[in-house]
A and B are shown apart, each in its own frame.
Chain A
Amino acid sequence: MSASSAFNDEKGGSSSVGEPEYGHDPASGGIFSSDYKRHDDLKEMLDSNKDSLKLEAMKRIVAMIARGKNASDLFPAVVKNVACKNIEVKKLVYVYLVRYAEEQQDLALLSISTFQRGLKDPNQLIRASALRVLSSIRVTIIVPIMMLAIKEAASDMSPYVRKTAAHAIPKLYSLDPEQKDQLIEVIEKLLADKTTLVAGSVVMAFEEVCPERIDLIHKNYRKLCNLLIDVEEWGQVVIINMLTRYARTQFLNPNINESLLEEGSGGDKTFYGSDEDEDEDEEEKEKNAEAPAMAKRKPYVMDPDHRLLLRNTKPLLQSRNAAVVMAVAQLYFHLAPKAEVGVIAKALVRLLRSHSEVQYVVLQNVATMTIKRRGMFEPYLKSFYIRSTDPTQIKVLKLEVLTNLANETNISTILREFQTYIKSMDKDFVAATIQAIGRCATNIGEVRDTCLNGLVQLLSNRDELVVAESVVVIKKLLQMQPEKHSDIIKHMAKLTDNIQVPMARASILWLIGEYCEHVPKIAPDVLRKMAKSFTNEEDIVKLQIINLAAKLYLTNSKQTKLLTQYVLNLAKYDQNYDIRDRARFIRQLIVPTEKSGALSKYAKKLFLALKPAPVLESPFKDRDHFQLGSLSHLLNAKAGGYQELPDWPEAAPDPSVRNVEVKDSVFTLLERVTTLTSVPEWTKCSSREKRKEKKVEKPFYSDSEGESGPTESADSESDSASGSESGSGSEESGSGSESVESEEGSESEEEEEDEEEKNKKKKKKELKKPVQESESEQSSEEEERKPERKSKQRKSDSESESDEEESESESSQSESEDSESEAEIKKKKKAAESKPPTKPVKKENKKEKKEMSLLDLDDFEPAPSPQVTPVNTFLSNSLVTDLEGLSLSDTVLSPATIAPSSALKNYELLHRITGEGLSVEYCFSRQPFSPDANMVAVQMQFTNNATSDTKNLHMEDVKLQSGMRVKEFPEIELLPAGETAAAVMGIDFCDSTQAANFQLCTHTKKFFVSIQPPVGELMRPIFLTENEFKKEQGQLMGMNEITEKLTLDAKCRNEHAIVQRVTTAANLSRVPCGSDKECRFAGRTVTSSSLVLVTVATKEEGAAQLTVNCEKMLIGTMLVKDILLALTQ
């Protein structure tokens, strides 16, 4: 307590300056009684009805927690507020709860039900945060609940919730390791997830829970590689580190041949002559050239998956995140063929510009790398030069790197640089420099003498530390060739008068003793002097004096016998028992007495044995058995939880385990759409010509065409690799989020286009090549593909509901139901879908009712005026277009008449179980909302299934994204049991698919609900002539245009069906068109009136092309997805 009160005093001082909040702080009083009183104060505030008071109280409590004060006694008061409406209060309560739940488990259980309710919320973000907090409460009793919640969330339709589920896994695991098996199942499931959002988190969970289950990765390996570039940066680090380990177990050592050819650093140089990353082809040639030399061995061929990993991680060297760069660097260091490791040097050197902590870690790793692969950092030598402003620890590490980099060619520059360092004011650094010089001298024979001379000059330095360090280093150097340097030994003997640093004195004495035969005259004199000062010396010096005396006694007993006796006598009574022991031992050994044993005969051999020169080596030697970039590597000790980097396998395990059977094609298409948003379409259009040229230049791109372009297949890299290569070939796909094989279908479409062009060119050139050939080629290709695709579809159909939902949520989270995945709803939904003919009738009935009620309501509020008039204009308008259309083609059906009647899809707003009897459905009526033209009209249908009446049905507490507006429906005063009522509300979605959240209130209850529009409902039909359409379309080219190829569902090959499906998916109107191969639709977004143009061009056999032109790129991309879905299912 005393410590904390001192802490308080300190706080008290500062609190008066700039933080009034702290003045009131209950904990800053410091006296117990007032402390309790203040806490009562807080409790009172927490119990009050006012949110502002609660918030104030929570803020103070959080401030207490932040400063490490104990606030646990407030637990009951705080936990009550867990269901508070105010978001900030709620969040702060969560903070408190997570902090103290462990201490007050029983009370914490009170809050669980709130989170359980949150898990069922229709809003994905609320579900996510409920799971987050629930899993953070470390109360063992709720483990089963957590397990259940995680399992459910893992199959949630929202990727964000699934991400949270992945985060929750390690939490539960640390709480109860017994759950491991079940958790692994969840991890396995989540690993199969295809969204970038989930990938990083689940791999993190994998690493914490079951890093040994490497087999779980097989099926997901290629997907992870391909997703990698789009994963958020922290996830990238985790995935890369895991894949490094994976690759070590699955692939062969790419350097297996080289390691046999040349060992050590000498051979490196030829390899790293140029630091640029060598072309793959070159590398291949190199391999081929080596092959004859390695005739006995099987030539090494890199596994295409291994190559895939290397290629997909390389762009990440350009990341702004140092951790990602380091992760890639270590991956290359551990996995890449020697010739390719060089690419990482540049990126690592770049990191040296970063914060000093980053430099510290990077330099440690660079130091390890420079020992193994000196060549790759040699061009960057100057980047490691030291500035006087660097912190000492950075200086020392840079010095280490410079020393490692030193070789015959650059040693002179390095030594010159070292010379300036010696003059530095930072003495620790100077000492390190002298050590470094010593190491350079031992490693490079040519400069040994120069270094030695330099060091000897330092002996006359004024700074004692410098001299001492030099002595120590010289001692080590002299051991290599003592006979040559007796003058230096003499010089050093003279220094004993001046040098006071014990280590240096000890070193000199040892040197003189060891090489006393080189300085026979001086040695006894030194001993004389030392004997005089013996009592005042430090312990290590005393020990060396005894050693010196012993050695001299053995070689020159005449002169030194008495001195030795004297020294040994002094030592006998020394305070240090070490010295006393040494003296006794030596006396027995060297002074011949009758008692002395056989050993004394060998005394000379013992003392003057030839000692091997010490090897000065880097402390970073052999550190690379730790995975680089890891904590263990940095500390050079195994940290807890460190996963050893396995050795390369002797023979590669079966690579086919990574094959993934082809799955849903719909998803593929959707993926492509999303990637299109991140990579602009105009690139493709405008620069197609350019790209073609590039393709010729770059061998990389030609790979993808290896299969189709017969001319290029000859020089494409390697056949085995080309399959996986196709991913990188297309730059549009943003490094390919596709999973190789399964995506080939969609990939090739683009290629086809290019190919087509190419073919055309070829035709022009060759003139003779018949047109049909190329086309038949294509069509045959297509035919081959078709059955495959169909099977894909069938599979995806039979795929569990979750998959479908996943893709839906991907597209726009159009459906907000499902939070409760009760089979009932699904059945309903399915039934509704499967019975289209009966449905419209029902709806029409409903509609009539609605309209009636609307008319009634008009008396109360002017808001939703009768929609008859606009409908009329709507229809008449369509008539005009129909007439226009008629002249062009008589088969055109009036789209407008189809659209509103059949397209209305009902969505559930409130299920009758959650609504406790009240069920609410809504649909987008597709009729102009007359009070505000910018709003989308939403028709709601309330049904009271309960036995009692519901009163005062109205909405409250509308929560919207900025810019969005809502026109509430008029209050329904009474809804008798069993009755149904309808109302219309308007929502301005601002052309986004953000959900509008609000509360539906009855006289007793409140329900949180949200309405999220499918993108197709965000527009209203407009009428354009064909010419207008073409004109507008011409203005919306480039990135505003999105084109997709698709295969039409068997049931919708005719025009009528297409029109119906498109108008069902989106509120658009048909544009008359001369050709029966094309269907065109037009509309404007409701809020911003941006044009939306849709074209479906059909070709034979169900192939079709969908084009959407829209100023709003996001709307466009989402619309493409929706229409695709509508047309392909």
Chain B
Amino acid sequence: MIHSLFLVNASGDIFLEKHWKSVVSRSVCDYFFEAQERATEPENVPPVIPTPHHYLISVLRHRIYFVAVIQSEVPPLFVIEFLHRVVDTFQDYFGVCTEAAIKDNVVVVYELLEEMLDNGFPLATESNILKELIKPPTILRTMVNTITGSTNVGEQLPTGQLSVVPWRRTGVKYTNNEAYFDVVEEIDAIIDKSGSTITAEIQGVIDACVKLTGMPDLTLSFMNPRLLDDVSFHPCVRFKRWEAERILSFIPPDGNFRLLSYHVSSQNLVAIPVYVKHNITFREGSSQGRFDLTLGPKQTMGKAVESVLVSSQLPRGVLNANLNPSQGTYTFDPVTKMLSWDVGKINPQKLPSLKGTMSLQAGASKPDENPSINIQFKIQQMAISGLKVNRLDMYGEKYKPFKGIKYMTKAGKFQVRT
């Protein structure tokens, strides 16, 4: 399936290559570079590029292109999903997935890739198994390794793949047994010029950090499972049980994982927690434009709206912006024309605003496009859909684990058109 993998950095250099079958010359990437040149933006490189003898399927993550070389028919999503899994694994191992991190750990990267694919077909992609095979590098281990000459490769061959719960390694032990669940909801919305909602939906995930000894078997139930319209599960969740009782029952993997992602049914009206008053105008014939933006909280159930960040791509004609924020700081990049305003927390008594003028290119006609405003925010201790976890029970082990559930609401793709 996957023949070879090339890692290409932002400046177009191949800095790592790996072949699973016979070697494919790196010149095959020339087709990719051509496509890269044609695309105006880095993310506009087509994910699938046909060449005379091969097909290149690529993903862009952390400003690195992961280019897989394919020789024959294969579902493109299969390759794309796998490449993303590779990136996730690197991130998991090295903390970040940058060119420098990959180069520093080139041997671990190679060992990982070797285990993840056999003859181009995915073999071990479960992070729990990989971590048994190849231990992630930590500062301590690197030091110990250099002194003692020992290695990152697990002495023992892993067992997870052979067990009935392939995602969990055996023999897990912790002194503090804890299970934390983060319910994070994101609001995707498009708000139109007049402030009315064009589309809004809530997507949520439950991320878990489970550090429990042995083979615990957990069940998690919701107060209002009906809210969940569409769900996708980590493979550990027993689907039949969910179908029948709307209870999540699972033997968790060890460590961090995404238990569930869900979509809240679109029948429910979505509460939009912030509103924006904006007045962005350009006058014909004048080289000045007015910029006036005010944010305010709305339907937040008494919770504070925090970490607010407003960004907007201003029209190309704007040379500079001279603005005055009532709180926070703003930056304007004259090259990319990107305006971003770090607001912080919204104080309902004193609404944050950003006012001032924009200077335009002299003599140029007024730009007729209106910039849209992207907003990011966070609301702690609240799931905007009202989803509530009812209880979490553990079976299969004797000890009492420490359990914690945290709720958070964030802005997803939250856009205000002007």
Contacts and interface: CB of A to CB of B under 8 A. Distances in A.
Nearest to B217: A680
A1027 interface: no
A67 B153 CA distance: 22
Interface centre among A17, A158, A233 (most CB of B within 10 A): A233
B238 A679 contact: yes
Interface string B82-116: 10100000000000000010011011011100100
Given A679-B238, A731-B240, A87 B396 contact: no
Given A320-B233, A680-B217, A1113-B215, A629 B199 contact: no
Contacts of B261: 320, 350, 353
Interface in B266-284: none
B73 interface: yes
Given A87-B151, A683-B249, A994-B170, A423 B106 contact: no
Interface in A373-417: 382-383, 385, 387-389, 391-393, 417
Contact of B19 (A14, A99, A462): A99
Nearest to A735: B240
Interface stretch (A355-363, A652-660, A1093-1101): A355-363
Contacts of B415: 387-389
Given A388-B313, A631-B74, A62 B110 contact: yes
B239 A355 contact: no
Interface centre among A102, A389, A461 (most CB of B within 10 A): A389
Nearest to B198: A385
A391 B46 CA distance: 10
A683 B55 CA distance: 49
A836 interface: no
Interface centre among B15, B16, B73, B100 (most CB of A within 10 A): B73
Contacts of A391: 41, 43-44
A706 B21 CA distance: 52
B393 to A, nearest CB: 10
Nearest to B40: A392
Contacts of A319: 232-233, 235
Given A388-B372, A642-B73, A68 B238 contact: no
Given A123-B157, A358-B81, A959-B155, A679 B233 contact: no
B161 interface: yes
Contacts of B166: 232
Contacts of A18: 100, 103-104
A171 interface: yes
Nearest to A10: B13
A519 to B, nearest CB: 30
A689 B241 CA distance: 15
Contact of B149 (A52, A641, A735): A52
B106 A234 contact: no
A1039 interface: yes
B358 to A, nearest CB: 15
B368 A462 contact: yes
B51 to A, nearest CB: 11
Nearest to A425: B369
Nearest to A730: B240
A734 B240 contact: yes
Interface stretch (A88-96, A980-988, A1045-1053): A88-96
A680 B240 CA distance: 12
B199 A734 contact: no
Interface string B224-237: 00000111111100
B103 A22 contact: yes
B398 A326 contact: no
B121 A204 contact: yes
A678 interface: yes
Contacts of B1: 204
A945 interface: no
B14 interface: yes
A925 B272 CA distance: 71
A634 interface: yes
B316 interface: yes
Contacts of B19: 99
Given A62-B110, A391-B43, A167 B118 contact: yes
B16 A66 contact: yes
Contacts of A1127: none
* Count class of interface residues, chain B: 35 or more
A631 B48 contact: yes
Given A88-B152, A357-B59, A393 B77 contact: no
A138 B20 CA distance: 11
B170 A1039 contact: no
A641 B159 contact: no
Contacts of B232: 318-320, 325, 347, 350
Nearest to A18: B100
A423 B114 contact: no
B7 to A, nearest CB: 9
A631 B155 contact: no
A1038 B395 contact: yes
A382 B315 contact: no
B153 to A, nearest CB: 4
B190 A387 contact: yes
Interface in B359-416: 365, 368-372, 374, 395-396, 398, 413, 415
A687 B106 CA distance: 52
A67 B119 contact: no
A678 B238 contact: yes
Nearest to A350: B230
Contacts of B417: 420
B203 interface: yes
B263 interface: yes
Given A362-B77, A683-B241, A318 B198 contact: no
B239 A88 contact: no
Contacts of A226: none
Nearest to A54: B149
A361 B80 contact: yes
Interface centre among A68, A135, A641, A694 (most CB of B within 10 A): A68
B153 A91 contact: yes
Contact of A55 (B73, B77, B149, B233): B149
B117 to A, nearest CB: 10
A679 B241 contact: yes
Contacts of A320: 232-235, 258, 261
A462 B59 contact: no
B301 interface: no
A630 B75 contact: yes
A641 B71 CA distance: 9
Contact of B41 (A59, A68, A234, A392): A392
Contact of A170 (B119, B122, B240): B119
B75 A241 contact: yes
A197 B164 CA distance: 10
A836 B77 CA distance: 59
Interface in A956-979: 959-963
Interface string B279-318: 0000000000000000000000000000000000101100
A358 B110 contact: no
A561 interface: no
A322 interface: yes
Interface centre among B171, B173, B232 (most CB of A within 10 A): B232
Nearest to B13: A10
B75 A327 contact: yes
Interface centre among A86, A123, A731 (most CB of B within 10 A): A731
Contacts of A635: 48, 50, 55
25 contacts: A18-B100, A55-B151, A68-B17, A87-B154, A102-B22, A135-B119, A136-B118, A234-B78, A315-B243, A320-B233, A323-B82, A347-B230, A347-B232, A355-B80, A357-B84, A358-B77, A361-B47, A383-B199, A387-B372, A425-B313, A641-B72, A679-B240, A687-B245, A992-B171, A1111-B398
Closest 5 CB pairs of A and B: A641-B72, A52-B149, A88-B151, A125-B157, A382-B199
Given A315-B240, A382-B201, A391-B43, 12 more contacts: A62-B110, A95-B114, A135-B119, A320-B234, A322-B77, A355-B61, A357-B60, A357-B84, A360-B46, A393-B46, A680-B395, A959-B156
